[in-house]
Amino acid sequence: MLRPGPPRSPKGANRPELPRRAERERQRHRRPLRLTGLRMRLLAAFAAVALLTSAAVTGVSYVLTRTSLMNRINETSMQQFNAAVNQNLTDLLDAKPSSSANLVNLAGNLATAGGNDWVLYQDQMTPGTTKPTLGYDSVPANLRAAAKKSVAWERTKVNGVPYLIIGSSVQPNGLEVYDFVSLEPQQEDLDRLAQNSAIASAVAIAISLALGLLASRGVLLPLRRLGIAARRLGAGSLDTRVEVRGNDEVADVSRTFNETADALERSIAELRSLEASSRRFVADVSHELRTPLTAMTAVTDMLEEATDVGDESAPAAQLIVTETRRLARLVEDLMEVSRFDAGTAELRREDVDLVELVHGCLDARGWTGRVALNVPEQLVVAVDQRRIDVIVANMVGNAIKHGGDGPVELAIGVRPPNLLLEVRDHGPGIPPDALEHIFERFYKADKARGRSEGSGLGLSIAFENAHIHGGELGGGNHPEGGAVFTLRLPLQEQKAHV
Amino acid sequence: MPSLLLVEDDAAIRTALQLALTRQGHQVATAASGEEALAAYKTVRPDLIVLDVMLPGVDGFEVCRQIRRTEQLPIILLTARSDDIDVVVGLESGADDYVVKPVQPRVLDARIRAVLRRGERETSDVAVYGDLTVDRSAMTVSKRGVPIPLTPTELKLVMELSRHAGQALSRQQLLRLVWEHDYLGDSRLVDACVQRLRAKVEDLPAEPTLIKTVRGVGYRLDPPRA
């Protein structure tokens, strides 16, 4: 009836785990760029789109420009060719195989008439040319074949220079006339166009990357904030909320986060108030129980004397006496536990000789002969002597109860910055599955035993008493058998209060 | 037979304690409230008052303070340990000792007897400390010839300090000698009693010249000056 909710495990048992995990989280979070991260993926997508777009645009415009440029030059060159040939047609028709110098002159005339460089060729005659680097060899074979039939043209490179070569043959003497139109200026234009396009593409990619960064920030920053907020919420700051901006998907998630946090905060608050009221209830009940118990306790001694009468009511009276004392102890312990829960337990430090305190504690309970002491002459510490007495009485009481017939050993030692008080028995020790529960309220290692003399709160109160001193109470098994309980009290705290 | 006045508002506790204390050989009168107690102690003239702190109306502290204005009779408080502040306030109001509920009648009886013993005379001499004269045989303390009214506990404290004049006594020692608490005595009893004693015997209670505090040890009464 009086159990204050589920048994709580002692505080601080797994507390050191938390900061380490948080640290790990933070480190993982701090890592700047993850290759598979959203940011990298977004940037890659933006860059790819920019690259593809600019490649397509510049490629198409290059091809179109080139085609129209070439068509235009073809047209004009063809007209020039025809004009030049027509102008010199008589001379061309007159050209004789004998006069080889004639072809050079003719080529010169054609160049004068139509510009460009010209190559003339006729069988058994030295070819005429206006440029030494150009000759009949420079004319591709299929153009030669085509030129013999009609006017033909071909674009090709001669010694690395691009040329439009227009060729034809004058009939009937079979003189072949080739007009070499240099495409170098056009090529330069096209090259410049390609170069500019490349620069434009590079700029476009840079801009798209910058845009990508901005866009990813727009998405990732709220995500980051959400992540931080979620972590803070998980760490226990239940009032954590995120700012909701705009009306996009991220804002939706933020809103959902806030609603979830609200709900969580509400449930936790409800749980806490339930817990607080159940604790208050325990405190109130204990308080109320104390008044009748005080009256009952006051007459137990008289009742005990009455058990001497010898009739059958004697055991009944004895039962009432024992159980009243047990109940009184339980109520006292419950009130002490309530004080710890409510945080109203007060620590009253004063300088006491710990060794004397231990002697007094054992004497007061008739345990002096049962405990082998290994203690210094004197050890003055600033502690709350009532609380230390409770701890020592619990440690020794447990050892005597569970230690069988073997000796109980109590040792006090100073191991800066701590003071250690150790109580060891030579009994069967603590069952392994009970080890982590021994400081829980109402925990009984041996369920079959059911009821013991204590309230079931003794060790948990002792634990809290050690805690309030800034110390620690631990229990375990000695490698050579038997249970060992160790009280650790920091010496540092002592000095501050001397 | 010592005569006691038991002040307790709860009828069951009152009856039970009256039964138990009577059984222990005391003559017990009872009062159920603070007002009743203030009226009763003048007619009953008890040797000692056992006073519950939590009383409706005029509470235990107030009863204690009002009685202390004129009387030096010993007062033992009944308190709850959870109300640690009760102890402090109670001792400041002039109580001689306190017991925590639920109390074992044997413990209460022992305390009562210890308090009552403090008034018993001892055969000894007279010592003079400055203006202060401690007559251990007459059990009186006077200052410049004027008797100072002291409670039995205060008197016993002066006696013990003067018996060990010039020697510092620790709080635990004083608890054993004066209060007869053998283990886990509350040192606040000593501090509160010293405060009250200083208020009565020192010229400037804040700057004591007779009952000195010995830091980290306890208290000391300086030896008589020539």
Same domain, A335 and A275: yes
User: How many domains, in total, are found in chain A?
Assistant: 4
A494 touches chain B (CB under 8 A): no
Same domain, A73 and A196: yes
Task: Tell me what pLDDT residue A222 has.
Answer: 81
Boundary residue ending a domain (A305, A327, A344): A344
- Give the CATH number, domain containing residue A437: 3.30.565.10
Same domain, A228 and A260: no
For B41-73, the pLDDT digits (tens) are 889 899 999 999 888 888 899 999 999 888 888
3-class state of residue B213 by DSSP: strand
Task: Tell me what pLDDT residue A283 has.
Answer: 83
- Single-letter amino acid, residue B60: G
Distance to chain B for A242, nearest Cα, Å:
44
Same domain, A191 and A69: yes
Task: Tell me what pLDDT residue B83 has.
Answer: 61
The answer, yes or no, to whether residue A19 has pLDDT greater than 60, is no
The answer, yes or no, to whether residue B174 has pLDDT greater than 80, is yes
For A300-344, the pLDDT digits (tens) are 888 887 766 667 778 888 888 889 988 988 988 888 888 888 888
Per-residue exposure over A418-436, b if at least 16 CB sit within 10 Å of its own CB, e if not: bbebbbbbbbebbeeeeee
Same domain, A439 and A310: no
With a CB cutoff of 8 Å and minimum separation 6, the contacts of A339 are A345, B82
Same domain, A259 and A399: no
- The DSSP output letter for A422 is E
Residues A402 and A425 sit within 8 Å (Cβ to Cβ): yes
In a domain, A477, yes or no: yes
Residues B131 and B180 sit within 8 Å (Cβ to Cβ): no
Same domain, A219 and A251: no
Same domain, A276 and A388: no
Same domain, A329 and A370: no
Boundary residue ending a domain (A132, A160, A182): A182
Task: Tell me what pLDDT residue A302 has.
Answer: 84
Chain B partners of A352 at a C-beta cutoff of 8 Å?
Answer: 172
CB contact under 8 A, B101 and A346: no
Same domain, A294 and A374: no
Cα separation, B25 vs B2, whole angstroms: 8
The answer, yes or no, to whether residue A81 has pLDDT greater than 60, is yes
In a domain, A415, yes or no: yes
Task: Tell me what pLDDT residue A2 has.
Answer: 41
Task: Tell me what pLDDT residue A495 has.
Answer: 47
Going by pLDDT thresholds of 50, 70 and 90, the confidence category of residue A485 is very high
CB contact under 8 A, A298 and B102: yes
Question: How much of chain A, in percent, has pLDDT values that exceed 70?
Answer: 87
Task: Tell me what pLDDT residue A62 has.
Answer: 87
On average, the pLDDT of chain A sits at 82
Boundary residue ending a domain (A344, A370, A389): A344
Chain A partners of B12 at a C-beta cutoff of 8 Å?
Answer: 291-292, 295
DSSP states of A362-389 as a string?
Answer: HHHTT-GGGEEEE--S--EEEE-HHHHH
Task: Tell me what pLDDT residue A282 has.
Answer: 85
Same domain, A327 and A426: no
- Taking alpha carbons only, the member of B72, B64, B45 closest to residue B154 is B72
Per-residue exposure over A44-56, b if at least 16 CB sit within 10 Å of its own CB, e if not: eebeeebeeebee
A267 exposure class (CB count in 10 Å sphere: 0-12, 13-18, 19+): exposed
For the ranges A471-485, B74-88, B105-119, the lowest mean pLDDT is seen at B74-88
In a domain, A15, yes or no: no
In a domain, A14, yes or no: no
With a CB cutoff of 8 Å and minimum separation 6, the contacts of A56 are none
Q: Which residues pair with B51 in a beta bridge?
A: B7, B77
B187 touches chain A (CB under 8 A): yes
Write down the number of H helices and E strands in chain A.
Answer: 12, 12
Task: Tell me what pLDDT residue A17 has.
Answer: 42
Cα separation, A434 vs A295, whole angstroms: 38
Structural element, H or E, at residue B218: strand B218-221
CB contact under 8 A, B183 and A363: yes
- Supply angle C-alpha A42, A47, A51, rounded to 5: 150
CB contact under 8 A, A290 and B102: yes
Task: Tell me what pLDDT residue A496 has.
Answer: 43
Mutate to test the interface with B, among A285, A294, A326 (most CBs of B within 10 A): A294
Residues A480 and A459 sit within 8 Å (Cβ to Cβ): no
Cα separation, A218 vs A128, whole angstroms: 72
In a domain, A6, yes or no: no
Structural element, H or E, at residue A424: strand A418-424
The answer, yes or no, to whether residue A21 has pLDDT greater than 70, is no
Same domain, A286 and A324: yes
A324 touches chain B (CB under 8 A): no
In a domain, A421, yes or no: yes
For the ranges A371-375, A462-466, B40-44, B141-145, the lowest mean pLDDT is seen at B141-145
Domain limits for position A338: 247-344
In a domain, A387, yes or no: yes
Q: Chain-centre distance of CA A14, in angstroms?
A: 22
Task: Tell me what pLDDT residue A497 has.
Answer: 41
User: Which has the higher per-residue pLDDT, A347 or A120?
Assistant: A347
Mean pLDDT confidence for A407-430? 90
In a domain, A496, yes or no: no
The answer, yes or no, to whether residue A36 has pLDDT greater than 70, is yes
- The DSSP output letter for B179 is I
Residues B62 and B77 sit within 8 Å (Cβ to Cβ): no
- Give the CATH number, domain containing residue A281: 1.10.287.130
Q: What is the ipTM of this complex?
A: 0.79
